[in-house]
Chains A and B, each alone.
Chain A
Amino acid sequence: MFQLERHPSGRLVYTGEDGATHHGITPVRAFPVTAPDAGLSLVSAEGHELVWVDRLDALPERQRTLIEEELAHREFMPEIRRVVEVSTFSTPSTWNVETDRGPTTLVLKVEEDIRRLPERGRLLITSGHGIVFSVRDMTALDRHSRKLMERFL
């Protein structure tokens, strides 16, 4: 079993079964959108996979907490709860939205930046600054938000 530790510098330190240590490793989900819990890889600072973790909840408490902490720092996909207003129905359009991480604005550069996922009503919206916003289920949003978003779909 591999070991994980947090260095005072804030980086994660990985010690493999062979005793080799790696500084600054990053956990990466293999299917962050369609199956976030299914598979996870610990990748060295050089970008090579060190170990594959099939299920996060099968790991011992200590490793899991460290990985989850690190993921929480790295994963940034605000979920849109409400669309307050949009500047225009053509693009680029500035949206005023409320997310699970507080209110913010995003710039939709082109309609193609809205990606539809196979699940019903699920959307990923890439903002002009490269942040990906998610919409869990568009059909479950309030009427106002739905109406505004419909114009872009």
Chain B
Amino acid sequence: MADLPPRLLPEENVTGLLEVDLDAALHFSRSTLVVTNRRLLWARAGDTDWAAVWSLDNGLSLRHHDHAGVGTLELHDPHSQRAVWRFTLGQNVQALRLVRQFERQCEALRSPAVHAHDDDHDPTTCPTCHAPLPPDSDECAVCTRELSTPPSTWVLLRLWRFAKPYQWKLLMGFVLTLASTAATLVPPYLTIPLMDKVLIPFQNGHQIDPAYVVQLLLGLLGAGLLAWGLGWARTWLLAIVSERIAADLRTTAFDHLLGLSLDYFGAKRTGDLIARIGSETDRLSVFLSLHALDFATDVLMLGMTSVILFSVNPWLALVTLLPLPFIAWMIHTVRDRLRTGFEKIDRVWGDVTNVLADTIPGVRVVKAFAQEARESKRFHEANAANLAVNDKLNKTWSLFTPTVTLLTDIGLLVVWGFGIWQVSKGDITVGVLTAFLAYIGRFYGRLDSMSRIVSVTQKAAAGAKRIFDVLDHVSNVPEPDQPVPTGQLQGAVRLDNIGFRYGSRSVIRGMSLDIRPGEMIGLVGHSGSGKSTLVNLICRFYDVTDGSIRVDGTDIRRFKVADYRRHIGLVLQEPFLFFGTIAENIAYGLPGATRTQIIAAARAAHAHDFILRLPQGYDSLVGERGQGLSGGERQRISIARALLIDPRLLILDEATASVDTETEREIQKALDNLVQGRTTIAIAHRLSTLRKADRLVVMDRGAVVEVGTHDELMAAEGHYFRLYEAQARRTDAADEDDSEHDQNLLAHQIPQPSAHGQAAS
């Protein structure tokens, strides 16, 4: 913005600005487009003058559209195109604002009486997407959330949030560790007097003092017992704590996952998510209780040993500690390699579980198309990839441990050599040398196991990162800071110029619709016309990218998500039944429902009779996907589920699409009960399902093309008429050719105008 050419006319003000970041050939290159109260101006980055200037008063129009991540602004005069600018969608918000300003300024020039308002929007909503702004901020969480900050690299430290509740237990564990480590360091120290005061004098012809020896041996025994007791206490205590930390992490991650919006689940694979919350947390628990604990003990031991060694003989201590920096350096260099390796292994492992998660639920399709061999091949390939990655890593990893051992041996050699030399000079006694060797035997032994911490820490960090990736993911459907209580909703829905973009694809554009409380709306259109997306937006599974959806006059983004959804009943094409009894499934949305309520709901949903025919009635178990029940039966259970929560807003998404006519009639009866007195939005491919709709909304490619009753729309001979004709034609064709069973069924479903007329009146 700083390098804008300064040349503006007198009394000319800049009202809108867009950083264009692509050129005509779609190369990344910056230029600036400016709209003022007089002109539209364009300048290349770095230039001192405008590259092009258009006056706003000669019938220009600015058109905006986008495709595959690239937005386009076209400047047209009444006859032809004058200029085109292209930009990435990161600039889209600016571009839309520019277009709005452009139109406003043109309007102001045409009718000078009307003053061009600089900003007429409500200051509490975002100027671009009209979402309510968080209090005390003018940065919209909805527009900017895409570029959230990345999590820190020191992931493991973030576990502190989960460790904090147990801080006193952890402190206790630390004290115990300190004490038990100190206890294990006593025995080598006692070898000094054992050597110098007992064994060597004996070799030189002195008598052994039994009382003194017993004293020393008792000291050894006491130290051993103490170390045992303390070691047990701290391991037990810390294992308990780490198990709880992992459990908290697991439950928090799952709770967070449930709070995420549907598009997160759409983008992630089930196997991967299961692995993150299941096995990764378990791995973290093992890391905390075993490896991290051992490491802490080792570090303490190293520290304490160094202090003892230096206090006994600084020179020998220095030589003893000499290999330490080398080993530390080695650990550091291998760390990077191993870390990437372990991350890779995790991903490949995710691939292996993904094959399982794909194949097992889809096993009917696999078998029906006889593709067992192909799935088996996929699994083999995933496993082969797993092996390959592991093999590559193991090459580095297997070299690591022997090298540490070798360094240990060389270190010992140095101590022996230097020690013998010092003994020969009389600087130290044999006892001191023996004590040193005893110490560093443990000391290097610990270094060896400490080097293992590299890999386990990296594994744990990789796991923690994957868990925190879930935890850091901010829901695309954010909870408002100051939620408006929903209270008793009337069910008036108002779509105000809404737009929705999925990735770079614009699915819904500039759609407005008013739905009265208790009205039934039928959504009609080809598949892919945005019907299901609209329903998902109304349920707030996603948030609109432009405009707003209001229920009873309040933007649904201002309600608490769960409070709002409590008022929505949803019946899907493929009803999902959870593992449990039928009663539990019906009462899913209202766990406290009485048996009477459950039965009443089942009766209204025409499910009561068939449930009673089951061997265990309402207590019959239904499987993961409701196996053992037919599609129609499952659907009626899901209708009962929706009825039980008595929603103000009802959504039927192709509720009868996957069943035959006979069953459809049954379901339809159930649905008629459900629809009564509720605001209903029904999607149906078969137009018959919508015979009771008050209004039909015809959608095409993300926009409303027609609204009206069946009769009005038929009279208009527009989109709906063509859809209807197409279904009728197919029905006729099917009548001639009976082999097409499904199409034949359509014949009974096309609504008769008379029947519809009754329904509409």
Which residues of A have CB within 8 Å of B146? Answer: 107, 109, 128-129
Main secondary structure of the interface of B (DSSP, over half): mixed
- CB A15 to nearest CB in B, in angstroms, measures 19
Which residues of A have CB within 8 Å of B344? Answer: 150, 153
List residues of B (345-372) whose CB comes within 8 Å of A's CBs.
347
Which residues of B have CB within 8 Å of A131? Answer: 68-70, 88-89, 504
Interface string of B88-113 (1 = CB under 8 A from A): 11100000000000000000000000
- CB A93 to nearest CB in B, in angstroms, measures 6
List residues of A (100-115) whose CB comes within 8 Å of B's CBs.
101-104, 107, 109-112
**B148-156, B480-488, B587-595 - the one binding chain A:** B148-156
Check if B74 sits within 8 Å of A10, measured CB to CB. Answer: yes
B735 at the interface (CB under 8 A from A): no
- CB A133 to nearest CB in B, in angstroms, measures 10
Check if B267 sits within 8 Å of A112, measured CB to CB. Answer: yes
Question: Across the two chains, which residue of chain A brings its CB closest to B146?
Answer: A128
Which residues of B have CB within 8 Å of A3? Answer: none
Question: Across the two chains, which residue of chain B brings its CB closest to A126?
Answer: B503
Beyond A91-B150, A131-B504, whether A8 also contacts B26 by CB under 8 A is no
Inter-chain CA distance A92–B149, complex, in Å, is: 7
A87 at the interface (CB under 8 A from B): yes
Which residues of A have CB within 8 Å of B74? Answer: 10
Which residues of A have CB within 8 Å of B700? Answer: 46-47
Inter-chain CA distance A91–B469, complex, in Å, is: 7
Interface contacts (Cβ under 8 Å), in number, total: 100
Check if B147 sits within 8 Å of A92, measured CB to CB. Answer: yes
Inter-chain CA distance A153–B345, complex, in Å, is: 10
Check if B28 sits within 8 Å of A90, measured CB to CB. Answer: no
Check if A99 sits within 8 Å of B28, measured CB to CB. Answer: yes
Question: Across the two chains, which residue of chain B brings its CB closest to A47?
Answer: B701
List residues of B (462-498) whose CB comes within 8 Å of A's CBs.
465, 469
Beyond A8-B80, A102-B29, whether A150 also contacts B504 by CB under 8 A is no
Question: Across the two chains, which residue of chain A brings its CB closest to B343?
Answer: A151
- CB B709 to nearest CB in A, in angstroms, measures 24
Interface string of A2-42 (1 = CB under 8 A from B): 00000011100000000000000000000000000000000
Check if A90 sits within 8 Å of B150, measured CB to CB. Answer: yes
Inter-chain CA distance A112–B503, complex, in Å, is: 14
- CB B158 to nearest CB in A, in angstroms, measures 12
Interface string of A39-79 (1 = CB under 8 A from B): 00000001100000000000000000000000011111010
Which listed residue (B21, B29, B147) contacts A107, Cβ 8 A? B147
Which listed residue (B21, B84, B269) contacts A10, Cβ 8 A? B84
B79 at the interface (CB under 8 A from A): yes
Inter-chain CA distance A111–B267, complex, in Å, is: 10
Inter-chain CA distance A111–B74, complex, in Å, is: 35
Which residues of B have CB within 8 Å of A102? Answer: 27-29
Q: Could you tell me how many residues of chain A have their Cβ less than 8 Å away from some Cβ of chain B? A: 38
Inter-chain CA distance A91–B150, complex, in Å, is: 6
Which residues of A have CB within 8 Å of B84? Answer: 10
Beyond A8-B80, A130-B504, A131-B504, whether A76 also contacts B150 by CB under 8 A is no
Check if A72 sits within 8 Å of B26, measured CB to CB. Answer: yes
Which residues of B have CB within 8 Å of A87? Answer: 150
List residues of B (133-158) whose CB comes within 8 Å of A's CBs.
146-148, 150-151, 153, 155
Inter-chain CA distance A101–B28, complex, in Å, is: 6
Beyond A93-B150, A128-B146, whether A110 also contacts B26 by CB under 8 A is no
List residues of A (113-134) whose CB comes within 8 Å of B's CBs.
126-132
Which listed residue (B89, B340, B465) contacts A130, Cβ 8 A? B89
Question: Across the two chains, which residue of chain A brings its CB closest to B83?
Answer: A10
Which listed residue (A9, A46, A109, A128) contacts B76, Cβ 8 A? A9
Inter-chain CA distance A90–B88, complex, in Å, is: 24
Beyond A47-B701, A87-B150, A112-B267, whether A150 also contacts B340 by CB under 8 A is yes
Inter-chain CA distance A87–B153, complex, in Å, is: 11
Which listed residue (B28, B155, B268, B347) contacts A104, Cβ 8 A? B28
Question: Across the two chains, which residue of chain A brings its CB closest to B502?
Answer: A130
B121 at the interface (CB under 8 A from A): no
Inter-chain CA distance A78–B86, complex, in Å, is: 14
Which residues of B have CB within 8 Å of A130? Answer: 68-69, 89, 501, 503-505
Inter-chain CA distance A105–B634, complex, in Å, is: 49
Kindly name the residue among A89, A130, A132 whose own CB sees the greatest number of chain B CB atoms within 10 A. A130
Which residues of B have CB within 8 Å of A126? Answer: 503
Check if B465 sits within 8 Å of A90, measured CB to CB. Answer: yes
Check if B28 sits within 8 Å of A112, measured CB to CB. Answer: no
- CB A43 to nearest CB in B, in angstroms, measures 11
Beyond A10-B74, A107-B147, whether A132 also contacts B80 by CB under 8 A is no
Inter-chain CA distance A102–B226, complex, in Å, is: 69
Q: Please name 30 pairs of A and B residues whose Cβ atoms are closer than 8 Å in the assembled complex, sorted by A.
A: A8-B80, A9-B81, A10-B81, A10-B84, A46-B701, A73-B86, A74-B67, A76-B26, A76-B68, A76-B70, A78-B28, A90-B155, A92-B150, A93-B150, A101-B28, A102-B29, A110-B267, A110-B268, A110-B469, A112-B267, A126-B503, A128-B146, A130-B504, A131-B70, A131-B504, A132-B68, A132-B69, A132-B504, A150-B340, A150-B344
With contacts A101-B27, A104-B21, A129-B89 known, what are 13 further pairs, Cβ within 8 A? A9-B80, A10-B74, A46-B701, A47-B701, A72-B25, A76-B22, A90-B153, A109-B146, A112-B268, A130-B505, A131-B69, A131-B88, A131-B89
Residues on A lying within 8 angstroms of B by beta carbon are 8-10, 46-47, 72-76, 78, 87-93, 99, 101-104, 107, 109-112, 126-132, 150-151, 153
User: Which 3 pairs, one residue from A and one from B, show the smallest C-beta to C-beta distance?
Assistant: A130-B504, A8-B80, A10-B81
Residues on B lying within 8 angstroms of A by beta carbon are 21-22, 25-29, 67-70, 74, 76, 79-81, 84, 86, 88-90, 146-148, 150-151, 153, 155, 267-269, 340, 343-344, 347, 465, 469, 501, 503-505, 700-701
